[in-house]
Amino acid sequence: MPSMTRSGRNLQVRSGALALAVLAAAGPLRAGLQSGAVREVQVRMSIGADAPEGPAFVHFQPEFARTAVRTQRTVPGRLPRQRRPELSEDLLVIAAFDVRGDEIYRTSLPDPRLLRAETADGSGRLASTRIYRESVDFWITLPDGPDLDHVVFSHPEWTGTVFNLVPVGEIKLR
């Protein structure tokens, strides 16, 4: 059975099977959150003060991000359900909190900042490289409710034995 411990601001997840328990509740954590409406939020995540004019990339994983709400709207619908949630370093974990600071929803999505590039060396062997966008806009879907207060974005970091969920950004929804 996986165990979770807090290490500073990071959450550590111990499991031999990629920490399914952390995302197993990839739907509403509290009963009654599904009202038939969801909140769609467009988020801008960047590593600079302003978004660059054209596409800009970095060859390292940013440890922080400036995050801002671009738009948000309430629409009829239900939250998407993750069938086999697993942690990996290619994900962004999204946790929504209410006004009391209680976590009410957790999900993950492929990290929208991440691009992969493959290049050939002199002998023709391919090498994979990770490239990150300096700025990206993306949508997240959250349970709609009057208590929804803020969202924390975390990046799973594998240490060899545990995943650390390292916070990289936060948005306020009120």
47-56 average pLDDT score: 64
pLDDT beyond 70 at 92? yes
Give the tens place of pLDDT for each residue, 59-75: 566 677 799 999 999 99
Domain interval for residue 91? 3-172
13 is written with which tokens? 């997840």
102-118 average pLDDT score: 90
pLDDT in the model for residue 45 = 92
User: Domain containing 163 — which CATH number?
Assistant: 2.60.40
Interatomic CA distance for residues 138 and 101, integer angstroms: 24
Q: How many CA atoms lie within 13 A of 157 on its CB side?
A: 15
pLDDT in the model for residue 173 = 94
pTM of the model: 0.73
Confidence of residue 19 (pLDDT cuts 50, 70, 90): very low
22 is written with which tokens? 């952390």
Interatomic CA distance for residues 173 and 127, integer angstroms: 41
pLDDT in the model for residue 31 = 41
Of residues 162, 146, 48, the one with CA closest to residue 98:
146
How many residues belong to the chain? 174
Give the tens place of pLDDT for each residue, 94-107: 999 999 999 999 99
pLDDT beyond 90 at 23? no
33-42 average pLDDT score: 82
Give the tens place of pLDDT for each residue, 140-174: 999 998 899 999 999 999 999 999 999 999 999 98
- Burial state string for 157-166 with b = 16 or more CB within 10 A and e = fewer than 16: beeeebbbbb
- In the chain, how many domains are there? 1
Which residue, chain included where needed, has tokens 């799973």? 156
Interatomic CA distance for residues 21 and 25, integer angstroms: 8
Interatomic CA distance for residues 164 and 146, integer angstroms: 31
